[in-house]
Amino acid sequence: MKLLVEKVQILSMANHQLPYEGNIGIEDGNIIFLGDIPESFKPDRTLNGNNLLAMPGLINAHTHMGMSLLRNYADDLPLMTWLSEKIWPVEAKISKEDIYYGSLLSMAELIKSGCTTFRDMYFQMDEVAKATELAGLRANLGQGLVGFSDPSLVGFDQVRELYNKWHSKAEGRIRIEVAPHAPYTCSTTYLTKARDLAMELNVPLHIHLSESVQEINDSLSNHEMTPIALMDSIGLFDAKVSAAHCVHLQEQDFEILKKNNVSVLYNPSSNLKLGNGFAQVTKMLKCGINVALGTDGASSNNNLNMLEEIHLGALVNKGVEGDPTVLPAYQMLEIATINGAKALGIEKMVGTLEVGKKADIIFIDLDKSHLVPLHNLVSMVVYSAAASDIKHVICNGKIIMENYKITTFDEREVIQKVKQLSEELIKRVNE
């Protein structure tokens, strides 16, 4: 289908280009022009871009989609207590159906807050892939590998099966990667096998690193190295690695991350809520480290609202550093778009609005009282916009939300189903 978006404000996020008014042509899932309409282009459908800002779909670079069933279940607890006493016992009882509908619920939230791509690390990823295919989103999916509960290495076979079944499927929207949970749940031997698998399949590796003070202290006590230095010593970074959190870094850690082209996945809400502190994002960026943005799961955030994450991420660093000039609005949007695409290894496809790239585009309704006057559209997105301002969402050239309504599945049906399933899940845990 040929789709024309007519007379819209365009924030391309390419080459620091400022917003401008123009037209967008889409054909076969790709952007074929930006600006003037070629005489030869005859659209099958036209969207009116009046009072709208078009920009690249946001990229949630670290989340756990099925955890939406545990939203508001366990809060105000330290990370390891939260995991070991609350989250892991429930996850032991979670079903395929739970994961499928929990993931769809998360996808509804992502779409409605302007996110077109996500990276997921969780269980039953075949169910997440099915939900992704239905929802019309783009995703990097990694079966969560927990070494201490996988002595026979069955998890690696599951990853291969997932890769063979889903990699580059759903019109190319789904990519499979390797996702060992963390150094404190996986032995170094297990992690090197995970690295080998990622390199064998030629896919990224996604892991949690240096999230809490306890994790750092335990690593120093057990290995006389920080988690990042430990991963460097075993050659984990020979693969294309993205490390979630990286809140507590020693000086050498910055150099290790830079040297190995590791992307850091910044999760400000989760880090704050779990009391883990403030990632040194501005220092990472100055060192040349690629920093992307994530929400983490809905049980540690407790939402998947990427616009809220953008807003908070920008403000936190200004406050912590006592400098209002750090992490300016445009740079924060880069973190949520093109940097996320780089972290996922899909920057040639998405992350900016450019001719030849995939048409992953969100449209912000500018006709809202809290957005007017429109002095600076970039600042408006970062400091003023809300999820409720996202009017249309296009992913891979397909309209997956129009006039605030998701078009690919019944959101109300999913909400009701998750209410039922979450109650049944907790009953199973308490039996």
Q: Each residue of 98-144: pLDDT tens digit? A: 999 999 999 999 999 999 999 999 999 999 999 999 999 999 999 99
Mean pLDDT throughout 204-212? Answer: 97
Q: How confident is the model at residue 74 (pLDDT cuts 50, 70, 90)?
A: confident
* Residue for token pair 């040297």: 259
Strand order in the sheet with 58-63: 58-63, 115-122, 138-145, 174-180, 205-209, 241-245, 263-266, 291-293
Nearest to 300 by CA among 219, 240, 212, 366: 212
Q: How confident is the model at residue 224 (pLDDT cuts 50, 70, 90)?
A: very high
Check whether 214 has a pLDDT greater than 80: yes
Check whether 73 has a pLDDT greater than 90: no
Q: Please give the helix or strand (H or E) that residue 330 lies within, else none.
A: helix 329-336
- Measured over the CA atoms of residue 99, residue 100, residue 106 and residue 107, the dihedral's sign is positive
Instruction: Provide the pLDDT for residue 49.
Output: 98
Rounded to 5 degrees, what angle do the CA atoms 346, 395, 34 make? 85
Instruction: Provide the pLDDT for residue 91.
Output: 85
What is the DSSP secondary structure assignment for residue 278, as one 8-state letter?
-
Mean pLDDT throughout 31-59? Answer: 97
Share of the chain above pLDDT 70, in %: 100
Nearest to 382 by CA among 431, 429, 302, 316: 316
Tokens representing 323 are 């400098």
Instruction: Provide the pLDDT for residue 429.
Output: 82
> Do residues 15 and 385 make contact, with C-beta atoms less than 8 angstroms apart?
no
Residue range 274-326, pLDDT digits in tens: 999 999 999 999 999 999 999 999 988 999 999 999 999 999 999 999 999 99
Q: How confident is the model at residue 14 (pLDDT cuts 50, 70, 90)?
A: very high
Q: How confident is the model at residue 427 (pLDDT cuts 50, 70, 90)?
A: confident
Check whether 431 has a pLDDT greater than 80: no
Instruction: Provide the pLDDT for residue 320.
Output: 93
Q: How many CA atoms lie within 13 A of 260 on its CB side?
A: 25
pTM: 0.96
Q: Is 71 exposed, middle or buried (0-12, 13-18, 19+ CB in 10 A)?
A: buried
Share of the chain above pLDDT 90, in %: 91
Check whether 256 has a pLDDT greater than 80: yes
Check whether 39 has a pLDDT greater than 90: yes
Check whether 376 has a pLDDT greater than 80: yes
Q: How confident is the model at residue 190 (pLDDT cuts 50, 70, 90)?
A: very high
- In whole numbers, what is the pLDDT of the chain averaged over residues? 96
> Do residues 45 and 6 make contact, with C-beta atoms less than 8 angstroms apart?
no
Nearest to 51 by CA among 330, 389, 411, 378: 389
